[in-house]
Amino acid sequence: MRDTVLFLDTTLRDGEQTPGVSFHLNDKVDFARALETLGVDMIEAGFAGASPGDFEAVRAVARTVKTGVCSLARCVEADIRAAADALKGAAKPRIHVFIATSPLHRAAKLNMTCEQVLDAAVRSVRLARSLCADVEFSCEDATRTETDFLLEVCKAAVEAGATTINIPDTVGYATVDEYGGLIDAICREVAGERDIVISTHCHNDLGLATATTLEAIRRGARQVECTINGLGERAGNASLDEIVMGLRTRRDIYGLKDNLNIRELYRLSRLAAGLSGMEIPPNKAVVGANAFVHQSGIHQHGVLRERATYEIMKPEELGIPQGGVVLGKLSGRHALREHAQELGFELTERELDRAFEKFKELADRKKDITERDVMAICREQMHGSHGMYRIHSFQIFSGNRMTATATVSLQRGADVITRADCGDGPVEACFHAVDQITGFKCKLESYQLRAVTEGEDALGEVTVRVSNECITMLGKGVSTDIIEASCLAYLNAANRVIEARQEREKAHQ
């Protein structure tokens, strides 16, 4: 049996199914590059047959990274051919075919008999294998499928050419023992002596995704499908960071290797949070803000004497910044670039120019710049295109007994356009003024504000999600002034909406 656990990251596919999450094409490519740096073995870049946008995303990722890239496909010929077309040019392509197998799904969703499901699975795997040497097959809702039928379908898929068999706990229904027993049976009855990889895909509806995944590995699974920060539908997927640190921290039990560079974990976690707009809960295992914070006096005393008393992992090994002042008012562009690289951010010259401009503005307002400040600035610059419009200036007139008014000036090329508008508070007034200038009325779907650091001069990071017709985009802005941060975030999102509309219009020409 293999002694290495393979990691398939599905943040760009299943993670994007998190309610309210939508990744821009550029975001997907940037995130795929970061996953490659982390060392994942396979990136599930999307569902190429679902839409032209998904097709382009899979194709862009496939042409960008050298690691494995796969596309999901139903047992439908058009889906499978779309996946194969999107993966052309990939260094290590894989088509991931799936069909639901449980009685509930067969009757309520597919309206198919067992024989029809079996036939569709075999035909689809054969077609996929004729187009791609690496084929994964999944039985959707496997944990609520009759065991005998599940084994029959998986055996037939292997005979048809599948190289990986994935057993999804689609609704997080299985207990740890149940899932482990199922994987044990699949390894014994389906894989046997064949060179077949058995894979897991666990959801977290009952909070068991990491536990069931680790038990499956102990029982013989050698690929895990997971997401950064556990993003995914409903309660999410198994979290990559928890799985790999479970394997490494308890190597005495699992005794297995992996190909991940765990120093990238924290950066990937923050990048996923920034791109998705889903903040990491402070008490999240491994990468949460409180994961290495000790409040109890007894615990603090123990950690000061010997960290191993209350810490089973080392934060620096995960790339978690240890805080402290890192840059000041006199720090130069080169120092910012070097520190950004130490934190895992590879900025382009244009991004570095904008980051340095933001850094100097911040240094004039704050005495000391911390690692968290630098990370927030870098995330803002890497979040996406700054687009058609830039903020030139803004002015607010508001009070507790008056309607807030905002006058906003945006720069477009060499032109500066100014408009004023009102709103229920200064933030909304700014947003309305921006809408007047851009000519696009965006609906604000969500607004989040968080303090990056402590103190009166803390940097505020605003994340907004806006929609226009069927386009939804995320925007991010950082500033010590929360009105400015809000305006920057909204304009960032509006620019991305404009870009998306232009791309869609070009596609239809």
Question: 37: buried, middle or exposed (CB in 10 Å: 19+, 13-18, 0-12)?
Answer: middle
Question: What angle in degrees, to the nearest 10, is found between the helix axes of 176-186 and 209-218?
Answer: 40
Residue 114, pLDDT score? 98
| Phi, psi (degrees; rounded to nearest 5) at 294 | -120, 115
For 428-439, write each residue's pLDDT tens digit: 999 999 999 999
Using a 10 angstrom Cβ sphere, with 0-12 exposed, 13-18 middle and 19 or more buried, the burial of residue 312 is: exposed
Task: Please report, rounded to a whole number, the percentage of residues in the chain having pLDDT higher than 90.
Answer: 62
Cβ partners under 8 Å of residue 284, min gap 6: 229, 239, 291
The whole-number pLDDT of residue 295 equals 46
Which pLDDT score, from 0 to 100, does residue 147 have? 98
Which pLDDT value is given to residue 16?
92
Please check the confidence at residue 508 and state whether its pLDDT lies above 70: no
- Among candidate residues 292, 295, 294, 296, the one with its CA nearest the CA of residue 315: 292
Name residues whose C-beta falls within 8 Å of residue 231's C-beta, 6 or more positions apart in sequence.
11, 14, 15, 16, 18, 21, 237, 272, 276, 278
DSSP labels, 216-232: HHHTT--EEEEBGGG--
d(CA 169, CA 212): 9
* Across 285-293, average pLDDT: 80
Measure the CA–CA gap between 438 and 429, rounded to whole angstroms.
15
Q: Worst-scoring range by mean pLDDT, 85-94, 118-127, 280-289, 405-414?
A: 280-289
Contacts of 103 (CB under 8 A, 6+ apart): 144, 145, 146
Q: In this structure, which amino acid lies at residue 256?
A: L
Q: What percent of the chain has pLDDT over 70?
A: 93
Q: Does pLDDT of 300 surpass 60? A: no
Give ∠ CA 329-330-331 in degrees, rounded to 5. Answer: 95
- 210-224, 244-258, 271-285: range with lowest mean pLDDT: 271-285
| Mean pLDDT value across the chain | 90
Q: Is a pLDDT exceeding 80 seen at residue 341?
A: no
Q: What is the pLDDT of residues 370-421, one digit of tens each?
A: 777 888 888 777 665 567 899 999 999 999 989 999 999 999 989 999 999 9
The predicted structure's pLDDT at residue 296: 46
Of 184-188, 262-266, 299-303, where does the model show the most confidence?
184-188
What average pLDDT score do residues 143-150 get?
98
Q: What is the DSSP string of 63-128?
A: TT-SSEEEEEEES-HHHHHHHHHHTTT-SEEEEEEEEE-SHHHIIIII---HHHHHHHHHHHHHHH
Instruction: Give the DSSP letter of residue 337.
Output: H
Q: What whole-number distance in Å separates Cα of residue 380 and Cα of residue 355?
A: 8
Query: How high is the pLDDT of residue 298?
Result: 47
Mean per-residue pLDDT, 344-357: 84
Helix 265-276 and helix 371-382, axial crossing angle in degrees, nearest 10: 50
pLDDT of 74-100, one tens digit each?
999 999 999 999 999 999 999 999 999
CA–CA separation, 445 vs 464, rounded Å? 7
Residue 205 DSSP SS3: coil
pLDDT at 319: 85
Q: How far apart are CA 424 and CA 10, in angstroms?
A: 40
Count, residues in the chain: 509
Q: How much is the pLDDT for 360? A: 87
Residue 284, pLDDT above cutoff 70: yes
Mutual angle of helices 371-382 and 349-365, in 10-degree steps? 140
C-alpha to C-alpha distance for 71 and 59, rounded to whole angstroms: 9
Q: Is the pLDDT of residue 161 over 50?
A: yes
CA proximity to 7, closest of 217, 271, 278: 217
| DSSP assignment letter at 334 | H
Across 42-57, average pLDDT: 96
Q: What are phi and psi of 199, to 5 degrees?
A: -120, 155
Q: How many helices (H) and strands (E) does the chain have?
A: 17, 16
pLDDT tier at 286, thresholds 50, 70, 90: very high
* Gap between the Cα atoms of 170 and 235, Å rounded: 11
Residues 34-51: what's their mean pLDDT?
97
Q: What is the largest CA-CA distance in the chain?
A: 77
Question: What CA–CA distance (Å, rounded) separates 112 from 364?
Answer: 67
Which of 449 and 41 is assigned the larger pLDDT?
A: 41
Of 3-7, 306-310, 325-329, the range with the highest mean pLDDT is 3-7
**What would be the CATH architecture of the domain defined by 390-507?**
2-Layer Sandwich (3.30)
The rounded distance, in Å, linking the Cα atoms of 81 and 45 is 16
| Span 453-470, average pLDDT | 83
The span from the CA of 220 to the CA of 214, in Å, is 10
What topology does CATH give the domain 6-276? TIM Barrel (3.20.20)
Does pLDDT of 299 surpass 50?
no
- Which two structure tokens, joined as six digits, stand for 353? 């120019």
Q: Identify each DSSP E strand in 295-452 by its residue range.
A: 325-327, 369-370, 390-397, 404-412, 415-423, 443-451
